[in-house]
Amino acid sequence: MEKKRVLLGMSGGTDSSVAAMLLQEAGYEVTGVTFRFYDSEGFEESLDDARNLASRLNIPYIIYDARELFRERIIRYFVDEYLSARTPVPCTLCNNELKWPLLAKIADEMGVYWISTGHYVRKVFRDGYYFIAPAADRDKDQTFFLWGLQQNILERMLLPMGDWTKNEVRAYAAKRGFERTATKKDSLGVCFCPMDYRSFLQHEVPQDALPGKGQFLDESGAFLGWHEGYPFYTIGQRRGLGIHLNRPVFVKEIHKERNEVILAPLASLYKEEMLLKDWNIVDTSRLLNSGDVIVRIRYRKQANHCTVSITDENLLHVLLREPLESIASGQAAAFYDEAGLLLGGGIIL
Ligand SMILES: Nc1ncnc2c1ncn2[C@@H]1O[C@H](COP(=O)(O)OP(=O)(O)OP(=O)(O)O)[C@@H](O)[C@H]1O
């Protein structure tokens, strides 16, 4: 396959636009692709931006319709997870199961070896394995979303943003005369659900498929008040419960069958272990039974040390050195070594 050509995912945003410039500057023949994941008002504008950039850089550009796939694999999953009393991780799933595999598939069809995005991550090669590692800009680090990628993808990735800070990226775009690109806003949160997920559920799910009002209970099963239906609550939630007690309470458990939400003081939400399904390990010897593994269960949450092993049911068992609160079923756990290499991850059972 052609090793001077690269297929770049172009969202029309600052990062992938600058990635296109940097790859071209480094001597690669870049082809840009924009995935149409879902219909939105802003999408046509993003397409125009990506298309204009491609034409100014004189690179081939394609639009790939992934709407059906995205609806099936990401939006339906997102809704189903809440209806199953879990908290989904759509960005993780999209990156690992859609964005990168699609880039690889389209690149294969074009006979192109390299695939690239504007993600803020680096890639390093150690003892026969490729690992994702944090970008120079720790504030923008996106390693947390990429634990599911395997060697066949990792080896083909080019990550031009890895050594740059966002400020440098903006300055570079401005210097190259791409003023509009330089000043674009950063994307935040879940792309297809810019509003509160509860409004999204109400919009997506027919009223008769939602459970309706249910009971808030305390840990001993005593009635505390009424809630709007279990899908509208997440583990660890404190705000927006619509219940006023003379003490702070948090969502500790959600029981789908009985449409019950258990509220408890924060101290009751701590756990010392968790099980992971759908896991991926980059290098078994660095992860399993090592005492120095770091685990993260939220994008911006503090890291914790743990020991990881595989159970007889083929799940990952994570024993935390310090208890963690708000471990929610459906969320992701990502593992790192002390140097920041991404060792793998999985979905909390
Ligand atoms: N619709 C899309 N089509 C193709 N590639 C995409 C699309 N959305 C995102 N990407 C790629 O995935 C990368 C990370 O996506 P994310 O949504 O986290 O972007 P971002 O940090 O806002 O980057 P950008 O500034 O490039 O939009 C982007 O830099 C881009 O390369």
Separation of CA 34 and ligand 1 centre (Å): 9
Q: Is 12 annotated as a binding residue?
A: yes
Q: Using a 6 Å cutoff on CB, does residue 100 contact ligand 1?
A: no
The distance of Cα 219 from the centroid of its chain, to the nearest Å, equals 32
Give 109: exposed, middle or buried? Use CB within 10 Å, 0-12, 13-18, 19+.
Answer: exposed
- Give the residue whose CA is nearest to atom 8 of ligand 1: 11
In ligand 1, the atom with minimum distance to the C-alpha of 191 is 17
Å from CA of 228 to ligand 1 middle: 35
- E strands, the chain, are 2-9, 29-36, 61-65, 112-116, 121-126, 129-134, 157-158, 214-217, 223-227, 250-255, 260-264, 270-281, 293-296, 304-310, 316-325, 332-336, 342-348
Say which residue the tokens 């799933």 belong to.
93
Q: How confident is the model at residue 2 (pLDDT cuts 50, 70, 90)?
A: low
- Which is the closest atom of ligand 1 to the Cα of 8? 31
pLDDT for the residue 312 = 98
Which pLDDT belongs to residue 266? 97
pLDDT score of 43: 87
Residue-level pLDDT at 22: 98
- 91 as an active site residue: the answer is no
Tens of pLDDT, residue by residue over 145-197, are 999 999 999 999 999 999 999 999 999 999 999 988 999 988 888 999 988 99
Which residues lie below 8 Å from residue 42, measured CB to CB, with a gap of 6+? none
- Mean pLDDT across 131-146: 96
Mind listing the domains of the chain with CATH numbers? 2-182 (3.40.50.620), 211-264 (2.30.30.280), 269-348 (2.40.30.10)
**Which tens digits make up the pLDDT trace of 93-113?**
999 999 999 999 999 999 999
Give the pLDDT mean for 130-147: 96
Q: Mean pLDDT across the stretch 208-216? A: 97
191 catalytically annotated: yes
Check if 92 has its Cβ closer than 6 Å to any atom of ligand 1. Answer: no
- Residue 185 Cα to ligand 1 midpoint, Å, equals 13
As a whole number, the mean pLDDT across the chain is: 95
Distances, alpha carbon 24 to alpha carbons 4, 27, 180, 183, in Å: 10, 5, 20, 21
Per-residue pLDDT tens over the stretch 221-253:
999 999 999 999 999 999 999 998 999 999 999
